[in-house]
């Protein structure tokens, strides 16, 4: 495949604008069409952003200008929408999570493999300047041999600000499925796959009260753990601690992610961003050093789609690929199961670390 790769966007909700802007930074991508079960949203998105065709979901799947379907629907239908796209012969890039359970995730990857199609999945924040700089520091030995990691997502929950917060408290969401993809993907990119997990989890409050203007006073039933404290034994040896919570009502001073090595520590930026700050403190140093970013932070959601398009054109594996997303999904599912059963769980999947980005890329390109 040569030239531009056509993409079609399925799901024109809150996040679509970021994807359109992010994709348009890359010369390889051409946004051909958009669709939504709500025809009005697809039409508005097409007009607002100058997309040539607003289509029904069924029409998008057979549009000849679409090589990759970007699945920006809600998590509960990610798997069925991605599967339908694969069955129609399209490559897929999905928002996270890949699916809400590993059975659906496995079926999705099998359907792609059978057809020789590629699957990519968010988050792609690990392709941003902040997390790529951390990867290079670790790979080049600046902290010695990694021995441990901590990752904390300590929040009070989305009900004070989100216009529609109910789904965050239902099965398939919670702080783990909603936010851990950013943290786990960053950790696997830095340290390699997770071998075994265990966890403790609780529902601290049996219902939540929405306080956003749109839903003020609405009671939200809670059916999934809202505080999940997990241990991750990485296959290469490091031990990780991951806490994701919606139950932190008084704030927290904990960092987002730190990686500890035999010769120093790297302080990793918020993995839900593409930028810094990246800080390094080597054994014996009195202070932290601010590390200049070695890769661009002027990218956004869409860099993973561009990488998938290059993968397609050049016949290589995508960095934000389905195997990585499946591993993250398996880790999340296993953390909840381990907490429920009071056991350790060994993961079955063990993807290779995604290739690091090369230095010196020009804006709008992901290859020299
Ligand atoms: N909003 C954010 O800040 C944000 C950030 C990062 C990731 N995400 C992820 O992006 C995805 C979308 O989030 P959002 O906030 O845009 O949600 P949203 O609810 O605003 O939009 C989802 C859209 O998908 C459409 N849709 C639902 N089912 C469909 C189907 N079967 N076929 C076609 N269209 C369908 C809906 O009509 C809606 O317009 C989610 O997976 C979310 O986790 C969102």
- For residue 16, which atom of ligand 1 is closest to its CA? 16
Report yes or no on 332 lying in a domain: no
Does the pLDDT at position 3 exceed 90? no
Structure tokens at 241: 């601690």
User: How far is CA 124 from each of CA 249, 251, 359, rounded to the nearest angstrom?
Assistant: 29, 27, 18
* 145, 286: one domain: yes
Q: Is residue 355 part of a domain?
A: no
Same domain, 121 and 131: no
Q: Which two tokens stand for residue 19?
A: 């994807």
The response to whether residue 58 sits with its C-beta less than 6 Å from ligand 1 reads no
Contact 152, 252 (CB under 8 A): yes
Q: pLDDT of 95-152, one tens digit each?
A: 999 999 999 999 999 999 999 999 999 999 999 999 999 999 999 999 999 999 999 9
Judge if 112 and 187 occupy the same domain.
no
DSSP state of 350: -
Assess if residue 252 is contained within a domain.
Answer: yes
Q: Give yes or no for residue 17 CB within 6 A of ligand 1.
A: no
Q: Identify whether residues 119 and 140 lie together within a single domain.
A: no
Span between the terminal Cα atoms of the chain, in Å: 18
126: helix, strand or coil: helix
- Return the pLDDT at 52: 97
Is the shortest distance between the CB of 15 and ligand 1 below 6 Å?
yes
pLDDT in tens, 274-333: 999 999 999 999 999 999 999 999 999 999 999 999 999 999 999 999 999 999 999 999
Q: Which atom of ligand 1 is nearest to the CA of 15?
A: 16
> Is the Cβ atom of 72 under 6 angstroms away from ligand 1?
yes
Q: Are residues 25 and 138 in the same domain?
A: no
User: 124 in ligand 1 pocket by Cβ < 6 Å?
Assistant: no
Give the pLDDT confidence of 221-278 residue by residue, as tens digits. 999 999 999 999 999 999 999 999 999 999 999 999 999 999 999 999 999 999 999 9
Q: Is the dihedral of CA 135, 139, 143, 147 positive or negative?
A: positive
Which residue has a Cα nearest atom 28 of ligand 1? 73
- For the Cβ of 304 lying below 6 angstroms from any atom of ligand 1, the answer is no
Could you report the per-residue pLDDT of 47-75, keeping only the tens digit for each?
A: 999 999 999 999 999 999 999 999 999 99
pTM over 0.85? The answer is: yes
Q: CATH number, domain at 37?
A: 3.40.50.720
Atom 17 (ligand 1): residue with closest C-alpha?
A: 13
pLDDT at 208 over 90: yes
- Distance (Å, whole) CA 5 – CA 35: 18
Rounded CA gap, 33 and 31, in Å?
A: 6
156 falls within a domain: yes
Q: How far is the CA of 71 from the centre of ligand 1 (A)?
A: 8
**Of the candidates 142, 120, 146, the residue with the CA atom closest to the CA atom of residue 294:** 142
Mutate to test the pocket of ligand 1, among 33, 72, 98, 180 (most ligand atoms within 8 A of CB): 72
How many domains, the chain? 2
The answer as to whether 342 is a domain residue is no
**CA angle centred on 160, ends 154 and 166, rounded to 5°:** 90
pLDDT for position 162? 87
Q: Are 43 and 93 members of one domain?
A: yes
Using a 6 Å cutoff on CB, does residue 37 contact ligand 1? yes
With CA atoms as reference, report the closest residue to 91 among 73, 109, 125, 67. 67
CATH number at residue 178: 3.30.360.10
What is the residue range of 265's domain?
A: 126-291
- Same structural domain, 249 and 175: yes
Q: Is residue 30 part of a domain?
A: yes
Same domain, yes or no, for 219 and 245? yes
Would 339 be classed as within a structural domain?
no
The domain boundary residue, chosen from 291, 313, 336: 291
* Closest ligand 1 atom to 301 CA: 6
pLDDT for the residue 214: 84
In angstroms, what is the span from residue 311 Cα to ligand 1's centroid? 25
For ligand 1, the distance from its centroid to the CA atom of residue 11, given in whole angstroms, is 6
> pLDDT band at residue 362, thresholds of 50, 70 and 90?
very high
- Do residue 227 and residue 282 come from a single domain? yes
Task: Please report, rounded to a whole number, the percentage of residues in the chain having pLDDT higher than 90.
Answer: 95
Question: Does 134 share its domain with 260?
Answer: yes
Question: Do residues 29 and 52 both lie within one domain?
Answer: yes
* Residue that the structure tokens 């690990």 belong to: 126
On whether both 281 and 177 belong to a single domain, the answer is yes
* Inter-helix orientation angle 322-341/102-115, to 10°: 160
CA 116/CA 306 separation, integer angstroms: 19
Contact (CB, 8 A) for 60 and 67: no
pLDDT for position 2: 64
Examine the pLDDT at 368 and tell me if it is beyond 90.
no
């Amino acid at each position: 495949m040569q030239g531009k790769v056509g993409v079609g966007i399925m799901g024109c909700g809150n996040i679509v604008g970021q994807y359109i802007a992010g994709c348009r930074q890359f010369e390889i991508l051409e946004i051909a069409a958009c669709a939504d079960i709500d025809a009005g949203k697809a039409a508005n998105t097409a007009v607002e952003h100058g997309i040539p065709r607003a289509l029904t979901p069924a029409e998008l799947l057979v549009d000849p200008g679409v090589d990759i379907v970007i699945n920006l629907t809600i998590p509960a239908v990610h798997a069925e929408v991605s599967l339908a796209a694969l069955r129609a012969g399209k490559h897929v890039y999905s928002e996270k999570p890949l699916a809400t359970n590993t059975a659906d995730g496995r079926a999705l990857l099998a359907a792609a493999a059978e057809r020789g199609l590629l699957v990519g999945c968010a988050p792609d924040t690990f392709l941003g300047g902040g997390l790529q700089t951390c990867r290079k520091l670790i790979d080049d030995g600046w902290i010695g041999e990694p021995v441990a990691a901590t990752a904390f997502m300590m929040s009070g929950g989305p009900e004070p600000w989100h216009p529609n917060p109910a789904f965050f408290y239902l099965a398939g969401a919670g702080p783990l499925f909603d936010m851990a993809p950013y943290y786990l993907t960053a950790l696997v990119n830095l340290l390699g796959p997770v071998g075994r997990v265990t966890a403790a989890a609780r529902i601290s409050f049996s219902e939540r009260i929405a306080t956003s203007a749109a839903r003020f006073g609405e009671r939200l039933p809670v059916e999934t753990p809202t505080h999940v404290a997990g241990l991750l034994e990485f296959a290469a040896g490091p031990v990780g601690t991951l806490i994701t919570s919606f139950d932190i009502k008084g704030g927290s001073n904990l960092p987002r992610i730190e990686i500890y090595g035999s010769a120093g520590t790297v302080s990793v930026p918020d993995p839900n961003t593409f930028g810094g700050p990246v800080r390094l403190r080597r054994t014996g140093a009195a202070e932290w050093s601010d590390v200049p970013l070695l890769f661009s932070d002027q990218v956004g959601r869409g860099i993973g789609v561009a990488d998938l398009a290059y993968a397609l054109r050049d016949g290589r594996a995508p960095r934000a690929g389905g195997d990585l997303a499946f591993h993250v999904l398996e880790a999340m599912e296993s953390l909840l199961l381990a907490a429920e059963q009071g056991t350790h769980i060994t993961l079955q999947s063990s993807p290779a670390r995604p290739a690091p980005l090369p230095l010196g890329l020009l804006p709008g390109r992901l290859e020299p």
